Amino acid sequence: MGKKPIIDLKPLDLSFQDRDQIIKLLTFKKSNMTLDIAIYEKDKFIKNSTIVFAHLPKNLKSAIKPL
């Protein structure tokens, strides 16, 4: 049947810091290699956004790649 095209990353609780913001990973879309993210600043939710897989820090890429 193949792997799921969208992987829910919320249970893995993956995040990284970018300047003054914490970026939490929500879902990974395999078809176009993008991630839905939630952006927080000082523990306050700012907005949801989308980034490309290539922009992730190396340690998070290796955590997601096997999925």
Tens-digit pLDDT string for the chain (67 aa): 456 799 999 999 999 999 999 999 999 999 999 999 999 999 999 999 999 999 999 999 998 887 7
* Whole-Å CA distances, 30 to 8, 21, 33, 48, 64: 11, 25, 5, 19, 11
**Is 37 contained in some domain?**
yes
Q: How many domains does the chain have?
A: 1
**Is 30 contained in some domain?**
yes
**Is 56 contained in some domain?**
yes
Q: What was the pLDDT predicted at 37?
A: 98
Q: What was the pLDDT predicted at 8?
A: 96
**Is 11 contained in some domain?**
yes
Tokens of 40: 């927080």
**pTM as predicted:** 0.89
Enclosing domain of residue 39: 6-64
**Is 1 contained in some domain?**
no
Task: For residue 37, count other CB atoms closer than 10 A to its CB.
Answer: 24
Residue carrying the six token digits 């995040």: 15
Q: What was the pLDDT predicted at 1?
A: 46
Residue carrying the six token digits 């922009």: 55
**Is 32 contained in some domain?**
yes
